[in-house]
Structures are given as C-alpha cells and as structure tokens.
Amino acid sequence: MIPTFHITSPDEALRPIIQEKIDNLNKPKGSLGRLETLAMQICLAQQTLTPSLSHPCHLLLGGDHGIEREGVSVSPREVTWQQMVNFTKGGGGVNMFCRQHGFHLRVVDVGVDHDLSDISGIINRKIAYGTRNFLYDPAMTQEEYERTLQVGIDLVDECHAEGCQVLCVGEMGIANTSPSSIWMSLFCQMPLDECIGAGAGLNTAGIVHKREVLGKSLDRFLRLHPVNAKADEIIRYFGGFEMVAAIGAMLRASELKMLILVDGFIMTACALAACQLYPAAKAYMIFGHCGDESGHRRMLDALGAEPILSLGMRLGEGTGALCAFPIVDSAVRMMNEMNNFDNARITKYF
C-alpha cells in the first residue's frame, strides 16, 4: 500500500505579524534582503516568531541504477559503493561540510549494488542490489516503490524523535542524473534534450549517447502510457532507490513541518517529484544552490524556487545545501538576536 501523507500549507494568518517583527528590527526596511524572505518562510513553516534549527540531520542515501549499464555515465557503478565506504571514514565532501556545520550524518544503503552489510557506519535499508534497467523495464516494482518510500519516512521519524527541525538530504548513485532528467522532462513538460547534461563529466559524444538512450527509454514509457501517466507511475518507472527514499523523506519531513534543505540537480528532481504528489510540501523546502548541471536552473524556475547559492557545484551528496546552511542560520539569528527600534532607542524613520 502506498504511504499517504497529510501535508498542510502553513497558516498565513501569522504573516503580517512576522513581517511587522522583521520591519521593526533595527535596520532599514528590507535591507537584509534574502535573509528577510528566508526568515518569513521559516517562521511560517514553524508557526513562530522565534524560529530554531535544533539538531540538524543529513541523510546520505545510496543506490545504483540499471540504466548505468547503458554507458550513460563516465563513472562506473562501483564508485557508488566505494564512495559509501569512504563516507564512513570521514573522507567525503559531505563529511567535511557536516562537521563544519554541525549536522548529524546518516549514511544509508537503500539500493547499492554491493554487499555493505558488514561496513560499520552504513545503515542497511537495502531494497535490492540496484534498480532494473528502465530502457527495458520499470526501474522498480510497485512493492519495491512502496517499501522505498517507507525507508525515507522511517529515517525522518528517527531524526525527528531526536529533536531534528532541519533536514538535509543527499545522494550517492552513479547515473542518477538520467532519471532526474526524465522526471524533469515529464513533470516540467520540457523537451528531453533540454534536460540532459554531462552528469559527472561526460564529453560531447557521451552526452549524445546519453540522449539517445534516454530518448529510447522515454519513448518506450510513453508507448506503454499513451494517456497522461500519474506522478507515482513516472517516479516508480525511472527512479532510483535513493531518489524515492529521498521523496519519502521530504514528504514525511513536510508532514512534520520540518525545514528541508534541497541540494542540486538530483535532489531538486526529487523535490519536484515530491511536489507533484503533494504540492503543499514546497512550503517547507529551502533550495540551497543552483548547480552546474545543465537544466538545473530551468528546473528551479519551473518550481518557482530561488536558490540561495550559485557556486558551480555538481558534486551531489547534499554538499551544496550544506554550504547554504549558514545563510539559513543567519536568517534565524536575525529574528532571535537583532534588537528592535524601540528597545535600541533608535528613531524609526520609515
């Protein structure tokens, strides 16, 4: 049975009260720019004038993709499990940023094509040893899809029980830009060619090949689904286990009114898919950065999302979102630590 979520949009009745507090901080009106709009979003999401970011958690979800067998990525699939092991030793980019910003990191095997059960530091939630090749078959069965969503739900419940109010989600899965591109094409109604980029570093010939493979995959899906397919059918047919678990995590976090830091191209595709299922989830999402993958900016625009950073990053793992966290923290500190005109005895001149 597909998990269901009760996600409600924030109560807008608090908006004018929040705005009054922001405008009365001892600064020129609007002078802190994006921090002010972030503060508004966070206060509305938490329904408070004194927001907080307690016990930030980062989920690093790993999974392999059957479509990788078609040569759509410059990196071989064994890099997925090798990097997962590397994360347990503290050697990844995600480890560095989690340490820097105080995030509790959970490294989770949802569908890596390697036995990682004996590796200390990796949480075993494996659904299967990678998805099927969606050039020929749906990436996962209905039962696998439902179980994978539940993995994300359970992980968020564990974080929430520890007092987590802000969740960051990252991924490790060679070839996962491929399903992301197809999701983007179908959900944003854009030509597939405009949604495909270099991934981890394909050259021109590699990108051409990737377009051919994904084009054939999409054509086959559309032949099987000649009428508008439902969002969950699209997600199940192309998605990776790490991606569907991320969707489950985002939806559960939204249901619990937690803040969600969204990373680059792949995680934005997961956010896009989550919003196709439950549009109200977007109110709880903060988009960390615009990455260097072709199409990411267009996907953000389709979501009506304004990223905090644009650093040319395309590492994945959640690193771009983690880099944006200090800006989010500054917005919260602005609300809690800045004085107002009355208390500071400064003339309010507007």
Active-site residue list? 317
Whole-angstrom distance, CA of residue 24 vs CA of residue 340 = 5
∠ Cα 260 110 153 (to 5°): 45
d(CA 72, CA 135): 11
Nearest to 314 by CA among 336, 289, 335, 337: 289
CA–CA gap between residue 320 and residue 165 (Å, rounded): 19
Per-residue burial over 152-172, b = 16 or more CB atoms within 10 Å of its CB, e = otherwise: bbebbeebbeeebbbbbbbbb
**For the chain, what is the total number of helices (H) and then of strands (E)?**
13, 6
Q: Are 145 and 112 in contact (CB under 8 A)?
A: no
* Count of residues in the chain: 350
The single residue listed with the structure tokens 């908006």 is: 15
Q: Which of 96, 151, 149, 143 is nearest to 126 (CA)?
A: 151
**Pairing label, strands 57-63, 104-111:** parallel
The span from the CA of 154 to the CA of 245, in Å, is 10
- The two beta strands, 122-124 and 104-111, are parallel
DSSP H helices, the chain, are 15-24, 34-46, 78-88, 93-101, 142-161, 177-188, 204-224, 231-238, 241-255, 265-277, 296-303, 319-337, 341-344
Distance (Å, whole) CA 341 – CA 343 = 6
